[in-house]
C-alpha cells in the first residue's frame, strides 16, 4: 500500500466559531478518500485550550493533523467588520505568508461555516492552470466589479472556498496588493475581504463548479445566473451539492429560518465533542 497523498487545508476561527469549525473538520475527514491524508492549519484568533483539545479529539485516530497559525492582527486593525464577518475572516489574505516554510504547491482554504458532503480530494486535484486561485462565482455579486471601480468581463467570486496556487499567489504579490486595496478603496468596500480579493484577483481566478460552494442564495435560487451556462451549472449544484456554505446572517446554530441542510448540520454538530456546549450556547445567544 502506497503512501497517502497529503492535502493541506486551512480554515480560520475564533473561540465562538470553534464548534462550527469542528463540523468542517469532521465532515472533511468523514468523506475523504483512503488514498489521502489531511494537514489542517487553523488561523487562530484566540481559540481556547479547551476548544483546541476538542478539535484534536475529532481527528484522533484519523489520517489528519492540526497546527495553529498566528497572524499579525495589526495588519487588519482598521478593517470593516459586521455582525457575522469579524477580523478573523480577513486573515486568509495572509495565508501564503503563513505557510512559507512549508513545501506546498497549493492549499485549500475553507470557511468554518460549511458542511462537506463529498470527497475533498476531488476538489484539491482540480487543475487550475496558471491561475492564482480556483473559486466559485458569488450568485448575488457575479457582476459586481463596476462597484469596485474595475472594468472586466470576469465574474466576482465567493472567497469562502479558495484553491490557492501558492507560488502564483506570491509571484503576483496578492497579499500586498489586497492589503493596499483594503486601505485605498475603503469607500468602495461592502463585502469585506471578499471585495478586496476580487479587486485584486480579477482575471487571475479559475471558475470551479458551483457544487463545491453551494451558498445559501444559490440554494434558494435568489439570483439570476449570469449566463446560460451558469443556469445549467446552478441547477446541477442545487441538485447535487458537494459543499454547503451557510453564507449570510442566518446560520444553523442561530436562526429558525428554513434551510434544507440545517437538520443534517445540527446532527453532525451533535456528533462532535462540542455537542453539549454548542447546544447550550445556541439556546442563550446568537453570533
Cα 20 from Cα 274, distance rounded (Å): 9
All three cell numbers of 273: 465533542
Question: What is the structure's pLDDT at 282?
Answer: 54
Question: What is the structure's pLDDT at 71?
Answer: 75
Neighbours of 68 (CB within 10 A): 12
**Residue ranges making up the domain that contains 165:** 5-284
All three cell numbers of 255: 436562526
Q: How many domains does the chain have?
A: 1
Residue numbers in the chain where pLDDT is lower than 70: 1-2, 72-90, 277-287
CATH of the domain at 264: 3.90.550.10
**Residue 63 φ/ψ, nearest 5 degrees:** -85, 65
Give which of 88, 287, 256, 77 is closest to 182, Cα–Cα: 77
At 126 the three-state DSSP class reads coil
Question: What is the structure's pLDDT at 245?
Answer: 97
pLDDT in tens, 206-225: 999 999 999 999 999 999 99
Residue 18 CA to its chain's centroid (Å): 14
Question: What is the structure's pLDDT at 1?
Answer: 42
Amino acid at each position: 500500500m502506497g503512501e497517502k497523498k497529503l492535502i493541506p487545508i486551512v480554515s480560520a476561527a475564533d473561540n465562538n466559531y470553534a464548534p462550527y469549525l469542528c463540523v468542517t473538520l469532521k465532515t472533511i475527514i468523514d468523506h475523504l478518500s483512503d488514498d489521502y491524508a489531511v494537514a489542517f492549519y487553523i488561523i487562530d484568533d484566540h481559540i481556547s485550550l479547551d476548544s483546541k483539545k476538542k478539535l484534536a479529539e475529532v481527528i484522533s485516530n484519523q489520517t489528519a493533523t492540526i497546527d495553529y497559525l498566528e497572524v499579525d492582527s495589526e495588519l487588519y486593525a482598521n478593517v470593516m467588520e459586521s455582525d457575522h464577518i469579524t477580523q478573523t475572516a480577513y486573515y486568509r489574505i495572509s495565508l501564503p505568508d503563513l505557510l512559507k516554510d512549508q513545501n506546498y504547491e497549493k492549499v485549500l482554504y475553507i470557511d468554518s461555516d460549511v458542511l462537506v458532503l463529498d470527497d475533498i480530494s476531488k476538489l484539491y486535484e482540480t487543475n487550475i492552470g496558471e491561475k492564482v486561485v480556483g473559486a466559485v462565482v458569488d450568485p448575488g455579486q457575479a457582476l459586481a466589479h463596476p462597484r469596485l471601480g474595475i472594468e472586466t468581463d470576469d465574474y466576482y467570486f465567493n472567497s469562502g472556498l479558495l484553491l490557492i496556487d501558492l507560488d502564483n499567489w506570491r509571484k503576483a504579490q496578492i497579499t500586498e496588493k489586497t492589503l493596499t486595496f483594503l486601505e485605498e478603496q475603503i469607500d468602495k468596500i461592502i463585502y469585506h475581504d471578499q471585495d478586496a480579493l476580487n479587486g485584486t484577483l480579477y482575471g487571475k481566478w479559475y471558475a470551479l463548479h458551483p457544487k463545491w460552494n453551494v451558498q445559501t442564495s444559490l440554494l434558494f435560487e435568489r439570483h439570476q445566473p449570469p449566463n446560460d451556462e451558469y443556469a445549467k451549472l446552478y441547477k446541477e449544484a442545487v441538485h447535487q451539492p458537494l459543499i454547503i456554505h451557510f453564507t449570510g446572517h442566518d446560520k444553523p446554530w442561530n436562526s429558525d429560518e428554513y434551510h434544507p441542510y440545517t437538520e443534517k448540520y445540527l446532527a453532525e454538530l451533535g456528533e462532535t465533542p462540542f455537542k453539549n456546549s454548542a447546544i447550550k450556547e445556541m439556546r442563550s445567544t446568537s453570533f
